[in-house]
Amino acid sequence: MDDTLRQRLDSTFDSLRIVEKGTNNTSIAVGRNAVMSVLSFLKQSGYDHLHAISCVDWIDKGALELVWVLSRYMRPGEQYDPKHAENLLLRTMIPRDPARMVSSIPLFEVAEPYEREIHELFGVDFEGHPRLIPLFLERSYDTPPFRKDFDTRQYVEDFFESIPSIVEDGGEGE
Amino acid sequence: MDRNQLIKWLEAPAKMGHKYSLHAVYFCTGCGIIEVPPSITARWDAERFGVLPTASPRQANLFLITGYVSVKTLKAIIRTYEQMPEPKYTVGFGSCPINGGMYWDSYNTIKHLDKYIPIDGWIAGCMPRPEAIFVAVTHLWTLIDKDMADGYKRYRKYYSQYRANQEKVLLGLEWPPLFPIEAG
């Protein structure tokens, strides 16, 4: 991240924490109220491409962390410069229960499938998302399956192992 | 052609025809499918054994389940299997369809494929080599010879059990039963 952007961010927003670890590893931690304004600020400042939205479950802290991965498109006629190919991470902590966040679709339309995925795997409700319907899963789970307190072993033993083998005339199963 | 097999050809020509023209559905499940392109192309050349990939399940009689099966894939597998004309043979490829393999404690992969569709043979390993496919194919020939590759007959016979398991894992199916299910 170049210094002018860092200064502008620092002077525009209060509670930003910018962590830079080597090249291509810059993250901005913000409170969740400021996420949309920082996202829109970064979009205006050139970071106009949303790679992905990711979610991390910090069960010890009792929080979910949402991560927006941003980078910038090359402008027409621009020469490739590795400095401009940097990714920028925007991170925020939200409580695990109730896990709510405002949808970033008004800024980045591509956020739609990522938010649906996070909704079904981590149980985060995105306010303002037009259709939070299942994306990958065929069934609903009591605990969203990617949360750390989802006991896969117990689930497999309770559900998949309870399905009976086919009993054929000559005895048990095949 | 092997002259020793002439008697077999005269006795049961249909069976011999099935044996030497196994058309496999080109259905990709999980990671095992990566072994299929080398098997069917010049390096291992599955056509030596009469095995050819077919794009449509309606023209195929061999179904290789290659790798782990997620619940969503299971639905596609059942649809594909039910569309194939009889006689049809299924082979589970790799350890995941057998008992879940390394994906056993996963929330969304089924563990024992033979609870949902009948399987005629298994190829163990993770991954099995392409040679294992040919061992399986020659073994399947023996099974067909002895009328032991009867998965499609078992599917008809125990269809109510298979259907019950399928509905249990998929929370109901969108299509009607393939065969009539007797009450009780």
Q: Which CATH number does the domain housing residue A62 bear?
A: 3.30.460.80
Look at residues A28, A26, A67 and name the one whose alpha carbon lies nearest to residue A50.
A67
Task: Determine the distance in angstroms separating the CA of B151 from the nearest CA of chain A, rounded to an integer.
Answer: 10
Is there a domain that residue B178 lies in?
Answer: no
In a 3-state reduction of DSSP, which class is residue A47?
coil
Is 0.80 surpassed by the pTM of this model? yes
Look at residues A107, A69, A108, A72 and name the one whose alpha carbon lies nearest to residue A90.
A69
Nearest neighbour of B171 by CB, restricted to A139, A152, A165: A139
Is there a domain that residue A125 lies in?
Answer: yes
In a 3-state reduction of DSSP, which class is residue B101?
helix
Q: What is the CA radius of gyration of chain B?
A: 17
Pairs from B100-104 (Cβ < 8 Å, separation ≥ 24): B100/A156, B100/A160, B100/B68, B101/B68, B101/B126, B102/B126, B103/B68, B104/A156
Question: In this prediction, what percent of chain B has a pLDDT beyond 90?
Answer: 26
**Amino acid B183: pLDDT:** 59
Task: Determine the distance in angstroms separating the CA of B1 from the nearest CA of chain A, rounded to an integer.
Answer: 35
Residue partners of A82: CB distance under 8 A and separation at least 6 = none
Is there a domain that residue A168 lies in?
Answer: no
CA dist A130 and A108 (Å) reads 14
Query: What domain count does chain B have?
Result: 1
User: Which residues constitute the domain of residue A127?
Assistant: 3-162
Furthest-apart CA atoms within chain B: distance in Å:
53
A-chain residues within 8 Å CB-CB of B106? 152, 156
Query: By 3-state DSSP, what share of chain B in percent is helix, strand and coil, each rounded to 5?
Result: 50, 10, 35
A-chain residues within 8 Å CB-CB of B158? 166-168
Query: What domain count does chain A have?
Result: 1
pLDDT at B172 > cutoff 90:
no
Is there a domain that residue B175 lies in?
Answer: no
Look at residues B123, B95, B118, B87 and name the one whose alpha carbon lies nearest to residue A168.
B118
Q: What is the mean pLDDT of residues B130-152?
A: 89
CA dist A38 and A92 (Å) reads 11
In a 3-state reduction of DSSP, which class is residue B109?
strand
Q: Checking phi first, is residue A24 left (phi over 0); if not, alpha (psi -120 to 50) or beta?
A: left
pLDDT tens digits for range A96-120: 888 899 999 999 999 999 999 999 9
Q: What is the mean pLDDT of residues B35-43?
A: 89
Is there a domain that residue B113 lies in?
Answer: yes
pLDDT at A22 > cutoff 90:
no
Question: In this prediction, what percent of chain B has a pLDDT beyond 70?
Answer: 98
For residue B71, give the chain A residue with the closest CA.
Answer: A138
Question: In this prediction, what percent of chain A has a pLDDT beyond 90?
Answer: 41
- Beta-carbon neighbour count of residue B96 at 10 Å? 27
Nearest neighbour of A138 by CB, restricted to B104, B118, B170: B170
**Amino acid A173: pLDDT:** 45
pLDDT tens digits for range B67-87: 889 998 999 999 999 999 988
Cα separation values, B113 from B69, B116, B143, Å: 8, 6, 20
Is there a domain that residue B105 lies in?
Answer: yes
User: Which residues constitute the domain of residue B113?
Assistant: 14-170
Q: Is residue B118 a contact partner of residue B162, using CB atoms and an 8 Å limit?
A: yes
Is there a domain that residue B182 lies in?
Answer: no
Is there a domain that residue A134 lies in?
Answer: yes
**Amino acid A102: pLDDT:** 93
Whose structure tokens read 């299929």?
B36
pLDDT tens digits for range B46-57: 888 888 888 899
The CATH number that applies at residue B139 is 3.40.50.12280
